[in-house]
Amino acid sequence: MNSDRIRLPSLLEKVKSADEAAALIKDGMTVGMSGFTRAGEAKAVPLALVERAKKDPLKITLVTGASLGNDIDKKLTEVGALARRLPFQVDNTLRKAINDGQVMFIDQHLSETVEQMRANQIARPDIAVVEAVSITEKGHIVPTTSVGNSANFVQFAKQVIVEINTTLSPELEGLHDIYLPEERPNRTPVNLLKPDDRIGTTAIEVDPSKIVAIVFSDLSDSPSNALPADSETQAIADHLIEFLKQEVDAGRLPNSLRPLQVGIGTIANAVTSGLVKSPFTDLVQYSEVLQDSTFELLDAGKLKFASASSITVSAPCAERVFGNIAKYKDKLVLRPQEISNLPEIVRRLGTISINTALEFDIYGNVNSTHVNGSKMMNGIGGSGDFARNAQLAVFVTKSTAKGGAISSVVPMVSHVDHTGHDTDILVTEIGLADLRGLAPRERARAIIDNCVHPDYRSALNDYFERACAKGGQTPHILREALEWHINLEERGNMLSKG
Amino acid sequence: MNSDRIRLPSLLEKVKSADEAAALIKDGMTVGMSGFTRAGEAKAVPLALVERAKKDPLKITLVTGASLGNDIDKKLTEVGALARRLPFQVDNTLRKAINDGQVMFIDQHLSETVEQMRANQIARPDIAVVEAVSITEKGHIVPTTSVGNSANFVQFAKQVIVEINTTLSPELEGLHDIYLPEERPNRTPVNLLKPDDRIGTTAIEVDPSKIVAIVFSDLSDSPSNALPADSETQAIADHLIEFLKQEVDAGRLPNSLRPLQVGIGTIANAVTSGLVKSPFTDLVQYSEVLQDSTFELLDAGKLKFASASSITVSAPCAERVFGNIAKYKDKLVLRPQEISNLPEIVRRLGTISINTALEFDIYGNVNSTHVNGSKMMNGIGGSGDFARNAQLAVFVTKSTAKGGAISSVVPMVSHVDHTGHDTDILVTEIGLADLRGLAPRERARAIIDNCVHPDYRSALNDYFERACAKGGQTPHILREALEWHINLEERGNMLSKG
């Protein structure tokens, strides 16, 4: 068994228990862990670290690809082991600690974390902990269900812990394409011209002497928590697909569209699922994360190829895909997130990028991260990498939240993650606003007329008209611009009067 | 004379008066004109259009590279000829018409205008009007002091008017490097690996039959309006240069730094000038605009090469450079703005990008465009193209304005052009805040301690501390977040009490 999974015999002696490996992580270290959208995180070692921290307190800076599964962020937070965390998270307990100022959270564009490490602008990991299906004859590491920042962490760290996940087939080898840009100033173009190009290696190259421990684990990825589409989610998908049909009819897109990037979550999943019944054919994905809907599209013969940095699916879908990986392997590739999200590639390919907004305002500025301007939800993730460079930058959200107490369309967003310069199409279940080539006042008209819930439309019209009377390129009444958010905070409803 | 400047004889018969050429521009047309930062705009034809519009009213959509000189925007506005304008402007009269809602202004990242035309997302020009020093044997167009979007406009338009500027030497030929990305999905990498690489042609390729008029002009570019450095501007430059020295000492930058992008204006010019006395050597620029300071650096032997999309200099500097172009030609290149600002190149080269902020907030969000959240100044220009992808994204501003009535550092910016995700270093004459790797609460501490004018420091500290007590990743008190701007609007001073 061990020699199947560890094909370089000299490494067999590095096999250790999770506790022994976790003991290599010292107080104050920067730790780079695998894991992207709750897929492919190391599991046994961080959980052993949690147990150790209960007896022997420590604090680390934890850097990952994106979010971790298996409640690892929750458990590390509960034992007080996180001093700093970057670049993304989705855990309730950690979120509370972040918002309480107990954990310093650095919310970053997901393509930039390792670029900043490469330039020594943020600390490189002292130690890397990465999940693998196997180690090759050369001692190189074959990742599991995500690549994330693992290859860079392994390159930067002085010590590497490999956690071999025995629940996943070694046949995953060949799925990955590991390519890292050169150091500046001698960097060359990233020679990826279409999503199915392979430009790297199938395993993470490493000097085997850096591998200080190999741990076996039989823990699985946490299943996707995307919910099935409801009527509003479905309406959003329908509006967007109808719009794309019109773009094809107008000759602005081919019937195969452009490479699709679809953010994670329920709405995004519904949009992709909706494509199964669409007239589009020969679709390709160039995305961060593949969800269940990718495999629906592949199975339906609608999708030719999907490139991403991770696969985050439901338990049944995981069984279908990873239990029959040979069937899918030539139609999939997993890349470092630096490449899946690279501005160079996103602009070259001209992706259609579909991401979820928390709220947007009448001028098309989008808040993806902060509830009422202060409280972090998850982080910006890769949405900025894509929206800035996509051919079509789409943001989707339901028009209201909390039973109608919150309008997702507001006079002024309480926090900006994507400026109006980067947003082309906004969609709610009410309808779709096409903002391309419009000045701010025209954008406001398109958004109010098409995207706002009827309960909020007259209040937004009133705000906008009075703001226009005051003047400006992007007319605002600053005294009222954040009033809806203040109402919500103080009285639980955006339209409550004091 | 004509045959020196028009080397394809069949085009000699296209020579027309400016009035005749302007008559080809029809009411309702989209017109693509040369011109970038008041350099290299067509002059005689738009001025003739102004005269014509006085008698024969018309409205056009005017698209340029960036700002125009010779009061062209002012005069076109005064005769009511502008229905829509993109992507940038700097004129007071036009600014007022924009803010009054009379001209629809679309403020765009300067690398994106032609990308959106290529994808047919905004209208392509019906007619292009571009300034040239000459037309080649093949009928191709040799631009003058800027390239901007001219090559793309010529490619997209059905009709092309060439305005030959006889004040500039035909020896400018060879200065330009015209390369345009291919159409998607067949686009290849832009194979530019260092600022002095040449990847294109020295003239704008065009089917000569599209050239419908050639006009001779003897009007010069408007001279640069950058002011000499004052003590505050100089202090900003000094702080930044000191920081760069520390980066070199720490091994994070080589002594030649990285390719420099420096925005236009007085502070930026002072920073570049300051490099003359610095210990750095073998510098290179990869910028949008070259100002007087570039030529100081070149003449001092500090700068090896400068790449940009335009040259905007004072009258004496213009005489020095364009009167001795042979001396400078092998150290300069002018490119389409799509290439000078391309995210792909900016990230590959890892530029140090220095741009001017109107205001920034305690979390590092930057407002480059809107006074008090509503009124447009100039536009975002290329700052977003650079800041997102630079190795070091620097924003500079004086700490106060209007005799101290305005603090440039505020609790929350009234408009966001660059989010904190994209800002690394903020500098005022007070000092420099290094935000790299900091969480928002730490960023606030660095900014308040280092950049804020003493008159505003205690008020910002008070806001920040009370906001932190409320909690959040990016703590704000929404009821007060914009109060400083409201004070300014209502009482003329940010700290005035009602």
Q: Do A146 and A310 contact (CB within 8 A), yes or no?
A: yes
Residue B1 pLDDT? 61
Q: Do A148 and A65 contact (CB within 8 A), yes or no?
A: yes
Q: Which residue of B has its CA nearest to A436?
A: B121
* Neighbouring C-beta atoms of residue B307, cutoff 10 Å: 28
The arithmetic mean of pLDDT across residues B375-383, rounded, is 97
DSSP string across A125-187: PSEEEEEEEEE-TTS-EEE-SB-BTHHHHHHH-SEEEEEEETTS-GGGTTSB-B--PPPTTS-
Positive or negative CA dihedral for B294, B300, B303, B307? positive
Nearest to residue A87, comparing CAs of A114, A107, A115, A58? Answer: A107
CA angle, residues B28, B32, B38, in degrees to nearest 5: 125
- What residue has token string 């470092």? A336
Q: What is the DSSP letter of A28?
A: T
Positive or negative CA dihedral for A290, A291, A292, A296? negative
Which domains, and CATH codes, for chain B? 2-217 (3.40.1080.10), 231-491 (3.40.1080.10)
B335 Cβ contact list (under 8 Å, min separation 6):
B147, B176, B177, B178, B179, B200, B307, B308, B309
pLDDT in tens, chain A (498 residues): 688 999 999 999 999 999 999 999 999 999 999 999 999 999 999 999 999 999 999 999 999 999 999 999 999 999 999 999 999 999 999 999 999 999 999 999 999 999 999 999 999 999 999 999 999 999 999 999 999 999 999 999 999 999 999 999 999 999 999 999 999 999 999 999 999 999 999 999 999 999 999 999 999 999 998 888 899 999 999 999 999 999 999 999 999 999 999 998 889 889 988 999 999 999 999 999 999 999 999 999 999 999 999 999 999 999 999 999 999 999 999 999 999 999 999 999 999 999 999 999 999 999 999 999 999 999 999 999 999 999 999 999 999 999 999 999 999 999 999 999 999 999 999 999 999 999 999 999 999 999 999 999 999 999 999 999 999 999 999 999 999 999 999 999 999 875
Tell me if A416 and B414 make a contact (CB, 8 A cut-off): no
Spatial distance between the Cα atoms of A492 and A214, rounded to a whole number of angstroms: 51
Q: Do B376 and A474 contact (CB within 8 A), yes or no?
A: yes
Residue A364 annotated as lining a ligand binding site? no
Catalytic residue set of A:
288
Residues of A in contact with B343 (CB under 8 A): 343-344, 347, 388-389
Q: Which of A254, A415, A441 minimises the CB distance to B101? A: A441
Model ipTM?
A: 0.97
Query: B171 CA to chain A: closest CA distance, Å?
Result: 32
Q: Do B61 and B117 contact (CB within 8 A), yes or no?
A: no
Query: A132 CA to chain B: closest CA distance, Å?
Result: 29
Query: B411 CA to chain A: closest CA distance, Å?
Result: 12
Query: B93 CA to chain A: closest CA distance, Å?
Result: 14
Residue B466 pLDDT? 98
Q: Which of B347, B424, B485 minimises the CB distance to A478? A: B485
Q: Do A4 and A202 contact (CB within 8 A), yes or no?
A: no
Query: B162 CA to chain A: closest CA distance, Å?
Result: 27
Nearest to residue A36, comparing CAs of A96, A81, A90? Answer: A90
Residues present in chain B in total:
498
Q: Which of A190, A374, A419 minimises the CB distance to B417? A: A419
Spatial distance between the Cα atoms of B130 and B118, rounded to a whole number of angstroms: 19
Judged against a pLDDT cut of 80, whether residue B332 lies above it is answered with yes
Residue A497, Cβ density class (10 Å: 0-12 exposed, 13-18 middle, ≥19 buried): exposed
Alpha helices in B226-351 (DSSP H): 231-249, 266-274, 292-299, 315-322, 325-328, 337-340, 343-349
Tell me if B258 and A184 make a contact (CB, 8 A cut-off): yes
Helices (H) and strands (E) in chain B, counts: 19, 25
Tell me if B374 and A106 make a contact (CB, 8 A cut-off): no
Residues of A in contact with B252 (CB under 8 A): 119-121
Q: Which of A94, A307, A374 to mutate to test the interface with B (most CBs of B within 10 A)?
A: A374
Spatial distance between the Cα atoms of B248 and A155, rounded to a whole number of angstroms: 23
Residues present in chain A in total:
498
Tell me if A416 and B416 make a contact (CB, 8 A cut-off): yes
Nearest-10 crossing angle of helices A292-299, A315-322: 50
Residue A1 pLDDT? 61
Residues of A in contact with B185 (CB under 8 A): 194, 254, 258, 349-350
Q: Which of A350, A365, A375 minimises the CB distance to B416? A: A365
Q: Which of A116, A258, A474 minimises the CB distance to B184? A: A258
Q: Residue B268 — pLDDT band, cuts 50, 70, 90?
A: confident
Residues of A in contact with B260 (CB under 8 A): none
Tell me if B189 and A185 make a contact (CB, 8 A cut-off): no
Q: Is the N-terminal amide bond of B46 cis, ω within 30° of 0?
A: no
Q: Which of B89, B110, B183, B473 to mutate to test the interface with A (most CBs of A within 10 A)?
A: B473
Q: Which of A30, A478, A480, A490 to mutate to test the interface with B (most CBs of B within 10 A)?
A: A478
Residue A378 annotated as lining a ligand binding site? yes
Residues of A in contact with B475 (CB under 8 A): 101, 374
Residue B304 annotated as lining a ligand binding site? no
Tell me if B482 and A486 make a contact (CB, 8 A cut-off): no
Q: Residue B120 — pLDDT band, cuts 50, 70, 90?
A: very high
CA angle, residues A468, A469, A470, in degrees to nearest 5: 85
Q: Which residue of B has its CA nearest to A469?
A: B100
A-B contacts (CB, under 8 Å): 237
Tell me if A486 and B476 make a contact (CB, 8 A cut-off): no
Tell me if A421 and B365 make a contact (CB, 8 A cut-off): no
A27-63 burial code (b ≥16 CB/10 A, e <16): eebbbbbbbbbbbbbbbbbbbbbbebbeeeebbbbbb
Spatial distance between the Cα atoms of B383 and B399, rounded to a whole number of angstroms: 20
Query: B66 CA to chain A: closest CA distance, Å?
Result: 16
Tell me if A343 and B436 make a contact (CB, 8 A cut-off): no
- One of B131, B288, B359, B483 is an active-site residue; which one? B288
Spatial distance between the Cα atoms of B453 and A423, rounded to a whole number of angstroms: 35
Tell me if B119 and A478 make a contact (CB, 8 A cut-off): no
Q: Which residues pair with residue B367 across a beta bridge?
A: B359
Spatial distance between the Cα atoms of B202 and B179, rounded to a whole number of angstroms: 9
Residue A498 pLDDT? 56
Tell me if B365 and A251 make a contact (CB, 8 A cut-off): no
Q: Which of B419, B476, B482 minimises the CB distance to A374? A: B476
